Amino acid sequence: MPDSGQLSRRRSVVGDGLVMSIRCTRLSSRNVEALITSLMLPVALMLMFVYLFGGAIDTGTKYVMYVVPGVILLCAGFGSATTAVTVSQDMTGGIVDRLRSLDVGGTAVLAGHVAASLARNAASTGLVVGVALLIGFHPTAGPLDWLGVIGVLALFVAAISALAAAVGLLAGSPEAANGFAFFIMFLPYASSAFVPVSTMPSWLQGFARHQPVTPVIETLRSLLVGGPAGSNPWQATAWCLAILVGSLGLAGVAFARRTAQSLSS
């Protein structure tokens, strides 16, 4: 069948992932209301923390110097809800059948969503840092430190987004996927993001010290405003990689399972 098909398949997971990334980023950029929320919310939260709570919290430094990494991570948590919901929408809509019939694998589909999440977070983080600079945040970070900040943040956002994507695949509906955001959003509060861990009740300190957000926060803080990093960068990297790999594995299984059991007659 010479004319009827058999295109030369210059395809790869990377190529498909790229196409899916463009798609997901485009979809994000066209959801104007969600986009504005995801850009304005971080700024609003930071202003709230700095001007409402900040005065009452003693961190040994100006609060804005303390809180910026926390706000960025909190917003990554909010953003993960968007990822979970959009993945879930893809799975419950008809697009997944088309992608499957085009032989697009789960990896490429998820890569697209993670890439879109990275793009959204890059925009909101840039805005947060910009506003923070206007209200008195003066980081001491040099160019290499900034690269480190970007690297750690990107790794954290990728890990959280992959986890959110896995949840989106497992959730029965977009609404259920949305509920997931609560858990992710809770994590930064019970970390050193907004208050020093030493001010927490002792039973919470154990959790706060040994959850992924704290080492990421401490790493960012030491890169941005100086201070000892200790083993935090390694812990942060290990946590993020573990979450990333675990989530991708889980997502791969969940994608295969979800697409194998499409019902209806």
- Cβ neighbours of residue 49 under 8 Å, at least 6 residues apart? 63, 67, 70, 71, 194
Which tokens sit at 243? 């979450």
The CB-of-18 to other proteins minimum distance in angstroms stands at 8
With H, G, I as helix, E, B as strand and everything else as coil, classify residue 215: helix
Sign of the alpha-carbon torsion through 128, 39, 193, 168: negative
Which tokens sit at 57? 């919290």
Nearer to other proteins, 56 or 260 (CB): 260
Nearer to other proteins, 42 or 112 (CB): 112
Nearer to other proteins, 108 or 243 (CB): 108
The site for other proteins (CB under 8 A) is made up of 1, 3-11, 15-16, 19, 22-23, 26-27, 30-31, 93-95, 97-104, 259-265
The CB-of-169 to other proteins minimum distance in angstroms stands at 17
Which tokens sit at 211? 């959850």
Nearer to other proteins, 27 or 176 (CB): 27
Longest dimension (CA), the chain: 76
The CB-of-251 to other proteins minimum distance in angstroms stands at 19
The CB-of-126 to other proteins minimum distance in angstroms stands at 23
Nearer to other proteins, 101 or 202 (CB): 101
Nearer to other proteins, 22 or 204 (CB): 22
220: nearest Cα among 201, 199, 236, 204: 236
Q: Determine how many CB atoms are found less than 10 A away from the CB of residue 6.
A: 8
Q: Determine how many CB atoms are found less than 10 A away from the CB of residue 191.
A: 25
Nearer to other proteins, 109 or 193 (CB): 109
- Cβ neighbours of residue 217 under 8 Å, at least 6 residues apart? 69, 70, 73, 188, 191, 192, 193
The CB-of-179 to other proteins minimum distance in angstroms stands at 24
> DSSP character for 8?
-
CA distance 128 to 132: 6
The CB-of-105 to other proteins minimum distance in angstroms stands at 11
Question: Helix 63-92 crosses helix 106-134 at what angle (to 10 degrees)?
Answer: 150
The CB-of-8 to other proteins minimum distance in angstroms stands at 7
